[in-house]
């Protein structure tokens, strides 16, 4: 079944009052839960560890959507104590959670990008890499002046020396580069 409002609403209309159980409250499960709430249907969540443990009780080990749905349905019917109720959180809490998740993502991506740049710089110019402050816009401007980190190994020794001195002094020396 497609994860679309009309398809979900049509299914819920066929089975009013049936509990809606998902294994993920956010992402893929959020639309099903929000439509169930609008339809006045009971909502529950099967936590990941419980779903994983329950999946071992059934034949097969392939991880498919169909098998996952079967495990959730049979667990919900046979072991209802494994389910957690889905709490309605105030919109402010959900907004804060969403912003915190985005901040965490951006922080990880920023660290990943800096680590990658340091890796690129380390091979051709270890002295510059050791002194480079990748959060300093002036340092990034200096690197851009020689064509970016990939071009540092091709830059003249005078240009790399200028970069290194500029990095030490924290000055903008991009215009001194050849």
Angle of helix 65-78 relative to helix 48-55, nearest 10 degrees, comes to 100
Rounded average pLDDT over 158-164? 61
pTM of the entire structure?
0.56
* Token pair belonging to 42: 């009971």
How high is the pLDDT of residue 161? 64
CA distance 45 to 146: 54
What kind and span of H or E run contains 22? strand 20-22
DSSP SS3 for 15: coil
User: Which residues are paired to 43 by β-bridges?
Assistant: 20
Integer CA distances (angstroms), 115 to 30, 75, 134, 173, in order: 34, 44, 10, 24
Integer CA distances (angstroms), 156 to 53, 54, 103, 161, 162, in order: 61, 63, 39, 9, 10
DSSP 141: H
How high is the pLDDT of residue 157? 61
CA distance 24 to 50: 12
Q: Taking the CA of residue 77 as centre, how many other CA atoms within 13 Å lie in the half-sphere pointing to its CB?
A: 6
Return the percentage of the chain with pLDDT > 70, whole number.
81
Return the percentage of the chain with pLDDT > 90, whole number.
31
Q: Which residue bears the tokens 């401007």?
A: 141
Residue 112 has pLDDT above 70, yes or no: yes
CA distance 155 to 168: 19
Closest CA to 134 of 111, 153, 152: 111
């Amino acid at each position: 079944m497609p994860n679309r409002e009309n398809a979900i609403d049509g299914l819920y209309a066929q089975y009013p009052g049936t509990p809606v159980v998902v294994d993920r409250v956010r992402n893929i499960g959020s639309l099903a839960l929000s439509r169930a709430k609008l339809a006045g249907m009971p909502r529950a969540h099967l936590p990941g560890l419980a779903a994983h443990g329950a999946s071992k009780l059934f034949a097969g080990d392939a991880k498919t959507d169909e098998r996952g749905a079967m495990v959730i349905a049979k667990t919900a019917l046979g072991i209802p104590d494994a389910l957690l109720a889905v709490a309605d959180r105030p919109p402010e809490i959900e907004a804060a959670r969403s912003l915190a998740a985005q901040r965490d993502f951006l922080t990880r991506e920023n660290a990943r990008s800096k680590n990658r740049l340091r890796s690129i710089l380390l091979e051709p110019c270890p002295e510059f890499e050791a002194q480079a402050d990748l959060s300093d816009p002036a340092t990034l401007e200096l690197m851009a002046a020689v064509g970016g980190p990939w071009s540092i190994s091709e830059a003249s020794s005078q240009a790399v020396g200028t970069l290194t001195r500029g990095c030490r002094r924290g000055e903008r020396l991009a215009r001194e580069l050849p």
